């Protein structure tokens, strides 16, 4: 969030001055914030040792995958080849995996 400054919002949309960010954690994965959220949910579930807390990531990940798809469609529409090139160089969530 810090690296994106004012470009990070909870709503999908392109802000004035928006650009494709490819440095920091974004050089390894296109959506490091979502990866962090998933890891936090897993950690909370493990720390609480409750079945419902462990199942939260299972419920949350499909919603995130849907949101990532919408976000990438929006960014491709806005930034075209620049974002397509970035997509070819980086994985979606987990560096060197997916």
d(CA 74, CA 36): 22
- What would the mean pLDDT of 5-29 be, rounded to a whole number? 78
> Which residue, among 28, 12, 33, has the nearest Cα to 89 in the 3D structure?
28
- Enter the pTM of the model: 0.79
Q: How many domains does the chain have?
A: 1
Q: What is the pLDDT of residues 61-97, one digit of tens each?
A: 899 899 999 999 999 999 999 999 999 999 998 887 8
Whole-number pLDDT of residue 6: 61
> Which residue, among 26, 34, 28, has the nearest Cα to 4 in the 3D structure?
26
Q: Is the pLDDT of residue 36 over 60?
A: yes
In a domain, 1, yes or no: no
Q: What is the pLDDT of residues 1-12, one digit of tens each?
A: 556 666 666 677
In a domain, 83, yes or no: yes
Whole-number pLDDT of residue 50: 76
Query: Cα–Cα–Cα angle for 95, 10, 63, nearest 5°?
Result: 60
In a domain, 53, yes or no: yes
In a domain, 38, yes or no: yes
Range of the domain at 80: 29-89
In a domain, 82, yes or no: yes
- What would the mean pLDDT of 43-66 be, rounded to a whole number? 83
In a domain, 35, yes or no: yes
In a domain, 16, yes or no: no
């Amino acid at each position: 969030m810090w690296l994106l400054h004012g470009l990070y919002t909870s709503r999908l949309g392109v802000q004035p001055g928006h650009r494709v960010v490819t440095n920091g954690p974004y050089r390894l994965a296109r959506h490091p914030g979502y990866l962090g959220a998933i890891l936090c949910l897993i950690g909370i579930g493990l720390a609480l040792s409750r079945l419902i807390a462990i199942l939260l990531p299972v419920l949350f990940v499909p919603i995130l995958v849907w949101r990532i798809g919408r976000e990438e469609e929006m960014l491709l529409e806005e930034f075209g080849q620049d974002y397509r090139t970035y997509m070819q160089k980086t994985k979606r969530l987990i560096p060197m995996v997916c």
